[in-house]
Amino acid sequence: MRLPAVFQDVSAAALRLCLDLPTQEALVTRTVADGERSMDLRILGASHQVLMIERGRVLYSETVACGTGAGVQDDGLPRRRVTDLPGACHRFRSATSRLRPDALRRHVGELLALLSADPAAVCGVFPGDPLAMTGVQARFRSPRAATWRTWHSYPQTGEVVVTCTRVERRPAPADVVP
pLDDT digits (tens, 9 = 90+) for 31-78: 999 999 999 999 988 789 999 999 999 999 999 988 645 444 456 799
**pLDDT at position 66, please?**
81
CB 84 within 8 A of CB 22: no
How confident is the model over 130-149, as a mean pLDDT?
A: 95
CA 77 to mean position of chain CA atoms: 12
Question: If residue 148 lies in a helix (H) or strand (E), which one and from where to where?
Answer: strand 145-154
- Judged against a pLDDT cut of 90, whether residue 157 lies above it is answered with yes
User: What distances in angstroms separate CA 11 from CA 14, 60, 102, 160, one per listed residue?
Assistant: 6, 26, 19, 9
CA 5 to mean position of chain CA atoms: 18
The one-letter amino acid at 177 = V
Eight-class DSSP state of 69: -
How confident is the model over 99-125, as a mean pLDDT?
A: 96
Rounded-to-10 torsion of CA 106, 164, 71, 170: 160
